[in-house]
A and B are shown apart, each in its own frame.
Chain A
């Protein structure tokens, strides 16, 4: 147990220290990689809340990443080019508020319908709704449609300069720690216990008098908001957003991170994101056809390794 705890601490500490050291000796590439990793890990943490702890298999969580990124891009676009004055701003807090409101609202509206269904219906409907968001942004010409939207100015937050890669990384890293801690708190709370009760035996929780639908909906919204926040960081990091970020294969990659890392664990999403980002980087540097080995690996993991990476460490 002691060994495992120090191992986890070691992973977190190296994730914080090494990218900065590499950056200082001129290899800024690794800093970017680590920032991307942290942002994807936040989204995976958000997805894990419902997929891992709540048993709701959402195949549409890339939509929230996209919504969050557009919540940065659209106000910045209007700030620069005019139009929709009430929306035009570069204030980071406003961006975050918009992202939270929009992703929460999207989760509420789709969740109201999705959560009436179970199993495969749920998987397919979450997928369909995220594809709806995809086609919506494709069809809006003003925000670049298919070609995407260049985010000209990053969000402005007092005392923090997101244009500085190190500060961008530190913000992403500390956000990741914050959300891992927050999801950990939620799952240990009364609400979290009810949620995992629903995952294990929904009928029993109904007969115990819990409002199952309501609890699932709250968790669904919360998970969407976390991914929306990750989207704000992603938009600021890449300074570009296109509908392609919402595509369902992105949702599949998020799911892969959560499953590979091990569902319903605090560190799982981070492990999953680390493995995914490294795999993507290594494989795509070898061949542009990196989806082939990646797909084969995915099939192998599903067929032969159940329980993900975390099970290797925690048993």
Chain B
């Protein structure tokens, strides 16, 4: 087997994994703490990519664009919470689903109106566009390595925030008993809005990171959201740690399945049969894994102990 190819594919899998984590962590935080189902989370990921693309062209710098786009997406997330999510907290999940489904249609159409139907590519600065030479014949793209590092930093930053800071303590307290927390003099509504904004910022960041590779496009949010759902279902809804483990797992399985499943099938079936069946099976692989895990652990790998 070609180990260079394997290494590259593992790297791609990790990259997909950390991006999935950035999207899924916001979903799982918002669900675990606010008990709110947000289908429109993928649209915020898409907005992140588009806003970053526009700013990159306006400022002529990708790095500046990201730094400026992050707070913009945070504010959009905050406004989303105030106007749509907040009135729905007391309703059942069906209303959350329908309301945020409506929000997807609105956000996607507005994005269509502003940025047009075609995707927008983001040019990378030279210092990010190169390759890192690891050994004689192995080179890794700098930007992909950077995505993994930034994603992992964000993941551990979030785990640290939730588990070891005062804000995180309040968030966890609010999740287990919101009435008690507000009785102790904490402004629970602002706290929830902050959680929502953090989740939106993370999703937007994922969009900004992927856009230079794929380009910012209209369908990207709706493609990622279902996979993010699979991630948080597998990880256990509400668990940030579960989201991290599941995101890396799903990212690796999906990428490696697409790359190597036909070679694997050729071991025990004819080449033609393997080439026909491998794409179908690998496109279903993450759902089959989800089904498998759920039949043993219906609440995911790391079900939160609260509630």
Contact = CB atoms under 8 A, between A and B. Distances in A.
Q: Do A and B associate with each other?
A: yes
Interface of A: 57, 59, 110, 112-113, 116-117, 119-121, 123-125, 127-129, 131-132, 135-136, 138-141, 248-249, 252, 255-256, 259, 289, 291-292, 294-299, 301-303
Interface stretch (B139-147, B190-198, B200-208, B288-296): B288-296
Nearest to B282: A139
B109 A128 contact: no
Contact of B233 (A128, A295, A297, A301): A128
Given A121-B233, A128-B226, A140-B280, A57 B93 contact: yes
B108 A291 contact: yes
Contact of B37 (A112, A116, A123, A136): A123
30 contacts: A57-B93, A112-B295, A116-B298, A119-B93, A120-B93, A123-B37, A123-B93, A123-B97, A124-B233, A125-B290, A127-B226, A131-B226, A131-B287, A132-B288, A139-B279, A139-B283, A140-B280, A248-B222, A249-B101, A289-B109, A289-B113, A292-B106, A292-B113, A294-B102, A295-B102, A295-B109, A297-B102, A298-B98, A299-B99, A302-B88
Contacts, number: 120
Contacts of B249: none
A135 B98 CA distance: 24
B284 A132 contact: yes
B87 interface: yes
Contact of A292 (B97, B105, B282, B295): B105
A62 B280 CA distance: 20
A138 B283 contact: yes
Interface of B: 31, 37, 84, 87-88, 91, 93-95, 97-99, 101-106, 108-110, 112-113, 222, 226, 229-230, 232-233, 237, 279-280, 282-284, 287-288, 290-291, 294-295, 298-299
Contacts of B294: 113, 116-117, 125
Contact of B106 (A120, A123, A249, A296): A296
Which are the 5 A-B pairs with shortest beta-carbon distances?
A295-B105, A298-B102, A132-B287, A295-B106, A292-B109
The interface centre, meaning the residue of A123, A296, A302 with most chain B CB atoms within 10 A of its CB, is: A302
A1 to B, nearest CB: 29
Main secondary structure of the interface of A (DSSP, over half): helix
A302 B95 contact: yes
A9 B174 CA distance: 52
Given A128-B233, A291-B109, A299 B298 contact: no
A136 B280 contact: yes
A128 B97 contact: no
B97 A255 contact: yes
A217 B80 CA distance: 37
Contacts of A259: 94, 98
A141 B279 CA distance: 10
B237 A121 contact: yes
Contacts of B106: 291-292, 295-296, 299
A124 B300 CA distance: 13
B287 A129 contact: yes
Contacts of B103: 295, 299
Given A121-B233, A296-B102, 13 more contacts: A120-B93, A123-B37, A123-B97, A127-B226, A128-B230, A129-B287, A131-B287, A138-B283, A249-B105, A256-B98, A289-B109, A297-B102, A302-B88
Contact of A117 (B84, B232, B298): B298
A295 B103 CA distance: 6
A113 B97 contact: no
